[in-house]
């Protein structure tokens, strides 16, 4: 990875427009999206520095036509330690994926005739 690009919008539609335009504008890849809260959506792209700059500009401009841009930023040559923010929790060495607990086995019904001798 050579660069990270972020486009933060208010709302999903503007974020989708930003991602679409960014991916069409340059040779970049969509790394993912984050939902920090309050209706904000951050689209994260990666690629060469120049391509990410062009993609962030195109994506932010296009998203501004349909919604509100909160922030747009390019980080050239990010530190390797920064990538832990974009990994799944299981890959971070945190809690492992839990499997659902099985229901306890049902006890066999007792025979009601056990207390009556000779039957």
pTM over 0.75: no
Task: Give the start-to-end residue ranges of the domains of the chain.
Answer: 3-88
Q: What is the pLDDT of residues 70-116, one digit of tens each?
A: 999 999 999 888 878 876 655 555 444 444 555 555 666 665 665 56
Contacts of 7 by beta carbon, 8 Å cutoff, 6+ apart: 15, 18, 19, 22, 42, 43, 45, 56, 59, 60, 63, 69, 71, 72
Q: How many CB atoms lie within 10 A of CB 98?
A: 6
C-alpha 101, offset from chain centre? 26
Average pLDDT, integer, range 53-80: 95
- In the beta sheet, which residues pair with residue 76? 3
The CATH number of the structural domain formed by 3-88 is: 3.30.70.1710
* Dist CA 74 CA 17 (whole Å): 18
pLDDT band at 33 (very low <50, low <70, confident <90, very high): very high
**Closest of 24, 7, 10, 22 to residue 75, by C-alpha:** 7
Q: In this prediction, what percent of the chain has a pLDDT beyond 70? A: 71
pLDDT at 108: 60
pLDDT band at 67 (very low <50, low <70, confident <90, very high): very high
């Amino acid at each position: 990875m050579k660069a990270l690009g972020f486009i933060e919008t208010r709302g999903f539609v503007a974020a989708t427009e930003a991602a679409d335009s960014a991916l069409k504008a340059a040779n970049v890849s969509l790394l993912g999206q984050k939902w920090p809260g309050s209706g904000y959506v951050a689209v994260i792209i990666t690629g060469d520095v120049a391509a990410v700059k062009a993609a962030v500009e195109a994506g932010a401009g296009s998203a501004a036509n349909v919604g509100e841009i909160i922030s747009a930023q390019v980080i050239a040559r990010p530190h390797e330690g920064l990538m832990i923010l974009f990994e799944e929790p299981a890959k971070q060495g945190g809690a492992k994926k839990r499997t659902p607990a099985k229901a306890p086995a049902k006890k066999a019904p007792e025979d009601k005739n056990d207390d009556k001798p000779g039957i």
